[in-house]
Amino acid sequence: MKPGIVVFPGINRERDMAIALEQSFGEKPRMIWHKETDLSGIDLVVIPGGFSFGDYLRCGAMAARSPVMGAIHQHAARGGYILGICNGFQILTEAGLLPGALLKNASLRFLSMDCQLRVERTDTVFTRQFQKGQIFRAVMAHGDGNFFADDATLDRLEGENLVAFRYADANLNGSARAIAGLFSENRRILGLMPHPEDLVDPLMGGADGKPLFDALAAA
């Protein structure tokens, strides 16, 4: 699987993501500027965290209308894999590739701290190196991580088993049903609010997030 990282103005986690991917894949990922529309040779599109376009209007709203997003929609229609972390998750919801929206944290404060995530399913290319119900550490760094959807959408996500991860300790941002990450209906797109790429090496303070990237590299 060949990875590529999409870079928007204001994104600031592309280097962290590149380190995580290179550790697992054994090669440097391709950096894709937001005005590019050629994703040939890319199997996994990664949209990292940060503040795309300064988070003006709404987080991810402007990035969702960048030229590259047309190519990403085509990539998704072909069954390609997509991973969106933090601002990437916000962009995926703004682009209609995942349901719901990410609102201001319930505290109205930016949250920067560790959190505990619970793995809800392991029969996907993203999660198969975790154990179902496993709790692992990840890093929260967001001001708009409060996942919201109407009750009908939430019931559908639960019924179709599309919740990837939940907050297992305190649901500090107020996300509906403690949802921290979601799959698309075909389970080839994952949006996740906390940052697994911040914990992929003991030198970072732990490697709790590495199984996600190792699983993708093994696909």
Catalytic pick among 86, 115, 120, 142? 86
Q: Provide the pairing of β-strand 3-7 with 30-33.
A: parallel
Catalytic residue of the set 14, 94, 120, 197: 197
Per the CB < 8 A criterion, the answer to whether 102 and 193 are in contact is: yes
Radius of gyration from C-alpha coordinates of the chain: 16
Q: How many helices (H) and strands (E) does the chain have?
A: 5, 11
Active site (annotated) includes residue 195 = yes
Closest-CA residue to 138 (of 84, 60, 59, 85): 85
- Is 185 assigned a catalytic role? no
Beta strands in 76-154 (DSSP E): 81-85, 101-103, 111-119, 135-142, 146-148
- Choosing from 34, 75, 142, 195, the catalytic residue is 195
Concerning whether 22 is annotated as a catalytic residue, the answer is no
- Which residues are catalytically annotated? 86, 195, 197
